[in-house]
Chain A
Amino acid sequence: MNTTLSAAAALGVVIVLAPGVIGVAARTRAALTHRRGTPVLQLYFDLFKLLRRGAVFSDATTWVFRFAPVAVVVTAILAALVVPLDGRASLFRFAGDPVALAYTFAFGRFFLVLAALDTGSSFEGMGASREVTFASLVEVGLFLSFATLAVLTHELSLSGMLEAPLARASASGSAPAVAMIAGSFFALLLAECARVPVDDPATHLELTMIHEVMVLDHSGPDLALILYAGALKLSVLGAVVISVLVPRANLPPAVAIAVLAGGLLLVGVGVGIVEASMARLRLPKVPLYLAGASALALFSLILALWSAA
C-alpha cells in the first residue's frame, strides 16, 4: 500500500469515526456518573435526522449565515488533509503547515463567529466574543507545542514532526518533553473543541455557553454540518495527540490505521473521564487554564532547547 492510499484510508476512517468519538465521550461521562446515557451512535442518528429536515433562516440574516456551516465543515476537512492521520505522511504537506493547520481552524471559526453576529442576537454575540478570546489564547499553546516538536525533530511540516517525535526525542534525552507536549495538546484539544473544563456541550443556559450559543440559530442540515465539523475537529486534534505519543511510521499501514481508530476511541474515553470528573471552569478561570497549558508547552520547549544545545 503506497503512502497516498494509506493516508486516504486513514482520512476515510477519521471521517467515518468522528461522530462515534463524541458518542464514546458522552457514554463514558454517563457511565462514570452512573447514568445510562445516550447510545454511542447517537450523533450519527442526530446527523441523519437533521439532514432530512429543512432549514429555517431568520429574516435578519444574510448570505454569511448560510455560508458559515459550509466554511466550518470544509476547513475541518482541510485540517484533516494536513495532519498525518496514519502516522507517516499526510495528503498535503509543506514546510510550515502547522501554521496552516492553526489558521484553517481559525478560518472556520471566523465564519462561525460572523454567522453568530449576523443573527443580531445578543446572546450569540456574547458567545462569539468568548469564543474568539479563548481561541486566541489557545493559539499561544498550540504554536509553542509545534515549536517544541520542530526543535526536537528538525522538521517544519506536520508529517515530519509527527512521524516519530518520541523516538527522536528519547535519542536526545528529552522524552519527558514529548509527554508534556501530548498533555498540552490534550488540554488545548478540550478548549478548541469546546469540551468540559472550558465549555460544556450539554449546557442549556445561554449565559454560560461559549460554543453552543453561537449555533443556536442554525437548524437542519446547517446544524448537522456544524456538529459534524466539531466532531471532525476533535478527531483531527486527537490524531495529533496519538501521533505524538505513539510513533507509527514503522508499523504496517493497516496496523497504523487500526492504532489510529483505537486511539481515537481512547481519546473519546479521556474526554469523557475529564467531563465526568470536573465541572466547567468559571469563565474568568478559563484564561488561567489555557495559560497553564501554554506554560506546559513553554516548559517542554525550554527542555527541548536545553537538551538540543
Chain B
Amino acid sequence: MQLLLLLVVVTDFAVLGTSRLSACIRWMAVQGAILGLLPLAYGGAITAHAYGLAAGTILVKAVLLPWFLKWAIREAAIRREVEPRVGYMASMLFGAAALGAAFGIASTTRAFPRHDLIVPVALVTVMIGLVVLITRTKAITQVVGYIMLENGVYLFGLTLSRRVPFLVEVGVLLDVFVGIFIMGIVVFHINREFDSISAANLSELREA
C-alpha cells in the first residue's frame, strides 16, 4: 500500500524528467495502473465497490487514455522531444520543492494517521501535475500534466471512497475521459492548423 504510493511519486518524477512524448505517456499509464491497484490495497475489506473502482480506473487511466494520447501523437506525427519552457533540471528542482512542501503541509493535518502517506503523495502529484501543465509547451504534455493533476485529486478521493457512492466515481472517471477526448481532438486540430502542437501558437490570434 505505502509502497504503491511511493511508486506513484516515482512515476511523478519520471514524467517530470522524461523528454520523449511516448515515454511520458507510458509513465502516465504506469501511474494510472498503480492508482487502479490502490483501492484494492487501501483499507481493510475488499468489496465489490473496490473491485469496480479498480477495474474502472485501470481501464480508463492505464488503457484508454494512454491509447488515445498515443493515437493523437501518431496522427499529429510528432515524436519529437518536448521543449519545455523551463529546463528539465529546473523542473526537477520544482518537483523536489513540491515534495518538501507537500510533506510539510501534510504534517500539519491531524485528520489522517501519521504513517499514512496518501495525503502528502496526493499533494505531490497535484503539484507536479501543475508544474508539468505550466512549464511544457506541447499540448500533449500539458494533457499529461492535467491527467496527473486529476490523479492527485483521485488519490484524495480515495481516502473518502467508503463514503462516496460508486456512481459519483464512475461519473468523475467518465468526465475525465471525455475531457481528455476533447483535448485530444483539439490537439489534433491545433496540429492541422499550425503544423505543430505547440500551445504557444494559440496566444496570438489572427486571421489566417
A interface list, Cβ under 8 A from B: 173, 176, 180, 287-288, 291-292, 294-296, 298-299, 302-303, 305-307, 309
Contacts and interface: CB of A to CB of B under 8 A. Distances in A.
B100 A307 contact: no
B92 A298 contact: no
A142 to B, nearest CB: 16
A173 B114 CA distance: 11
Please indicate which of the listed interface residues A295, A305, A306 has the most CB atoms of chain B within 10 Å of its own CB: A295
Query: In the complex, which of the residues A176, A291, A292, A296 has the most CB atoms of chain B within 10 Å of its own CB atom?
Result: A291
B99 A309 contact: no
Contacts, number: 47
B2 interface: yes
B103 A295 contact: no
B6 A295 contact: no
B95 A306 contact: no
Contacts of B13: 292, 295-296, 299
Given A292-B17, A306-B103, A309-B107, A299 B9 contact: yes
A44 B142 CA distance: 53
Interface in B112-151: 114-115, 117, 120
Nearest to B100: A302
Nearest to A300: B6
B45 interface: no
Given A288-B89, A302-B99, A309-B114, 5 more contacts: A173-B115, A176-B3, A291-B92, A298-B99, A306-B114
A306 B108 CA distance: 12
Question: A interface, by DSSP: helix, strand, loop or mixed?
Answer: helix
B89 A287 contact: yes
A299 B2 CA distance: 14
Contact of A291 (B10, B89, B117): B89
Given A288-B17, A295-B13, A306 B96 contact: no
6 contacts: A176-B2, A295-B96, A296-B10, A303-B6, A306-B103, A309-B114
A176 B92 contact: no
Contacts of B156: none
A291 B95 CA distance: 11
Contacts of B2: 176
A306 B120 contact: yes
Contacts of B120: 306
Contact of A288 (B3, B6, B9, B88): B88
